[in-house]
Amino acid sequence: MAHPRLLIIYTGGTLGMCPGDQGLTPSGNIESRLAKAFNQLPLLQQQALPSFEVLSYPQLIDSSSATPDNWSQLAHDIAKRLSDYQGFVVIHGTDTLSWTAASLAYQLQGIDRPVILTGSMQPLEAPGSDALDNLYWALRCAEQPHVKEVAIYFHGKLLRGVRATKQHSEAVDAFTSPNYPLLGERMGDHVVHYPGRGLADQQRGAPRFELPDYTSVSDGAIVRLALWPGITAWQLASWLEDPRVKGGILQLWGAGNLPDDPALFAVLAKASGEGKMLAAISQCPQGSVHLGAYAAGKGLLDAGVLSGDDMTPEAAFGKLVHLLAQPIPEEDRRRRFLSSLVGER
């Protein structure tokens, strides 16, 4: 009997939840539940279903509880099973699915086979659920050898994992890729892959996995600050001057603007001078920051703040976590942040 080609890793999330006394909760017995669900597919789809095995985590989580330690565990589990499977599908809750996808992309750099994350807005057994359709097509994408990166399949769309973000809290079309085109789309009984958009077309070479220990950055070492009108220097300092903070993502207005307040820039310069890695992205879902394009943002460069270009919050945050977890010189960290490692910018 041939070895299963794919591995499904079940981490929890809405797809596998069942009703409980306190509402929907992560539930087990996923293998038999998937078998029952797949038997409900049309015969042609059942025949096209690739062979797979299931790895179910003993502690299932609602993805709102996910941490960098969970990202690290998942990357290690994929890396140590790489030679056993042609592709991987990760069942994950939607709330932080794109955060996990971004982190996996940095940890599994140069991966030579598909890692497809998916989930659903409704549980597997719920009437009219999107779970079975998402999972079936994620498996179909995971058997495609020309997909050589971490991606998300959701509601007919295949997106680069490190470019995706969740855009809707209720709709089944929950994910978008605001600054990068889709890798592929479902059309009829196939997923059409667009040439030139995948990492396999853009980067060459053997896998160069980086699997650092994320423990040092798992306890709030990286902060995320979105500006608001009236923000003051003492408010910014209350975050950045904490000795436990090692880095931060600043979500600025427009193309990289913040109030023209010397005290704010002084706080940023002090933190950066202490070796804290600060990066700026836009609060706008689409477009890039251009630090220095406006007088109100020019002081950021002088303060040592790095440009996050057009990265999503997930991509920028995950990149800081990944770089700050590694024992490399600060100059290398800053250079690598400003470079595109996995097509994230």
Class of residue 18 by CB neighbours under 10 A (exposed 0-12, middle 13-18, buried 19+): middle
Asked whether the predicted pLDDT for residue 331 surpasses 80, the reply is: yes
What is the band of 212 on the pLDDT scale with cuts at 50, 70, 90?
Answer: very high
User: What whole-number distance in Å separates Cα of residue 223 and Cα of residue 279?
Assistant: 11
Residue 111, pLDDT > 70, answer yes
Q: How far is CA 30 from CA 132, 139, 277, 295, in A?
A: 13, 16, 41, 56
pLDDT value of residue 214: 96
Are 249 and 221 in contact, with CB atoms under 8 Å apart?
no
Q: What's the average model confidence in pLDDT over 299-311?
A: 94
pLDDT tens per residue across span 3-49: 679 999 999 999 999 887 778 887 888 999 999 999 999 999 999 99
* pLDDT for res 1: 42
Please give the structure tokens belonging to residue 114.
């598909």
67 is known as an active-site residue: no
Whether residue 71 has pLDDT greater than 60: yes
Q: What is the pLDDT of residues 95-109, one digit of tens each?
A: 999 999 999 999 999
Q: What is the pLDDT of residue 298?
A: 79
Of 14, 96, 100, 312, the catalytic one is 14
Q: CA neighbours within 13 Å on the CB side: how many for 119?
A: 24
Q: What is the mean pLDDT of the chain?
A: 93
Distances (CA, A) of 119 to 47, 116, 123, 186: 22, 10, 9, 16
**Which pLDDT does position 228 carry in this prediction?**
95
What would you report as the CA-atom Rg of the chain, rounded to the nearest whole angstrom?
21
Predicted confidence (pLDDT) per residue in 146-203, tens digit: 999 999 999 999 999 999 999 999 999 999 999 999 999 999 989 999 999 999 887 6
**From the CB of residue 187, how many other CB atoms can be counted at a distance below 10 Å?**
9
- The C-alpha atoms of residue 154 and residue 185 are separated, in whole angstroms, by 10
- Chain segment 136-146, per-residue pLDDT in tens: 999 999 999 99
What phi and psi, each to the nearest 5 degrees, are found at residue 120?
Answer: -160, 160
Predicted local confidence at residue 205, as pLDDT: 65
Please state, in angstroms and rounded to a whole number, the distance separating the CA atoms of residues 180 and 157.
Answer: 13
What's the order of all strands across the beta sheet hosting 190-193? 52-61, 6-12, 87-91, 115-118, 150-154, 157-160, 184-187, 190-193
118: buried, middle or exposed (CB in 10 Å: 19+, 13-18, 0-12)? buried
**pTM of the entire predicted model:** 0.95
Residue with tokens 């509880």, as numbered in its chain: 65
The pair of structure tokens assigned to 188 is 């009829």
For the segment 78-94, what is each residue's pLDDT rounded down to a tens digit? 999 999 999 999 999 99
